[in-house]
Amino acid sequence: MNNTDKATIKSVLLWKNQRRYIREAFEAGTLKAAIVPTGSTEQHNEHLAMEHDTASALHISKLAAEKLFPEVIVTTPLALGVAEHWMHHKGTLTLRPEVFGEVLYDVCDSMRRHGIKNVLIINGHAGNNRPARERIDDFRERLGINLIFHSYWDACSPGFIKEHLKSGNYPGHASEFETAFAMAAFPENIDWEGVDYDAANLPFASQADSDYDRTYHEEAKLAIAAKGQLMIDVAVGWVADKLRQMIAETEKQEGKQAK
């Protein structure tokens, strides 16, 4: 038995490994899939940190990859997304949809060039949905790999949400769903201290925008950590299953080709 027979990654997070762990894992054939988390840096109402969509996508991706250790690696997340619709709130960063798509493509292509045949994009920001879905078939064809895009909340059925969330609203925006997630995963990202919603000088794009924002603000107060944990567990299990399916599909395909 040589050294590479048992070589594995040190962490499921790509950027936490020294290059030798990644190289030897590829040489040993233990790495079978990659997750690319996509998020955003944008306003999340008065109480949630602006990293929420990136942090949540990364949290789900990391736990799902750990379930399949050492077969799945998580790439550096895209912490910038398509958030033009929130630019009237100071601090939001946005990419043009085509730039977001190109960066996403290049990350997937980098993994393909290293020999990864299965890439699952796990998204945490609703604004990325359309730009990614519009191009995913083209990306798959050009890359010639098994490539799938999902938002992590695709794991939750409407019935499940209705049963467990008081507001019944998901993913919403910094409302009950996301606030419960943060309470369970990174409570330090929630800061209600000094929040005075009615006194705040809030910029809104329209009356509808203002109404939604206030609704989300109120719904956020319904959040409890236990529900957030429940949704995280469901999403992690669901993403892990998707990865198992993708790996099995590709292996079956390769088995057929070898015959």
Nearest residue to Zn ion on Cβ basis: 53
Closer Cβ to Zn ion, 32 or 52, answer by number: 52
Q: How far apart are CA 136 and CA 143, in angstroms?
A: 10
Residues interacting with Zn ion, by CB under 5 A? 52-53, 178
Closer Cβ to Zn ion, 112 or 217, answer by number: 217
Closer Cβ to Zn ion, 110 or 129, answer by number: 129
Total length of the chain: 259
Q: Which long-range contacts (CB under 8 A, 24 or more apart) does 17-24 make?
A: 22/73, 22/114
Secondary structure (3-state) at 200:
coil
Kindly report the backbone phi and psi dihedral angles of residue 236, in degrees, each rounded to the nearest multiple of 5, phi listed first: -65, -45
CB of 11 to Zn ion, least distance (A): 26
Closer Cβ to Zn ion, 143 or 231, answer by number: 231
Cβ atoms of residues 174 and 45 within 8 Å: yes
Closer Cβ to Zn ion, 71 or 178, answer by number: 178
What are the structure tokens assigned to 103, written together? 């960066």
CB of 223 to Zn ion, least distance (A): 13
CB of 230 to Zn ion, least distance (A): 18
CB of 56 to Zn ion, least distance (A): 7
Closer Cβ to Zn ion, 21 or 170, answer by number: 170
Task: Give the β-pairing of 33-38 and 118-123.
Answer: parallel
Q: How far apart are CA 18 and CA 141, in angstroms?
A: 32
CB of 178 to Zn ion, least distance (A): 5
CB of 106 to Zn ion, least distance (A): 24
Q: What is the DSSP string of 69-90?
A: TTSEEEPPPB-----GGGTTST
State the burial class of residue 5 (Cβ atoms within 10 Å of its Cβ: 0-12, 13-18, 19+).
exposed
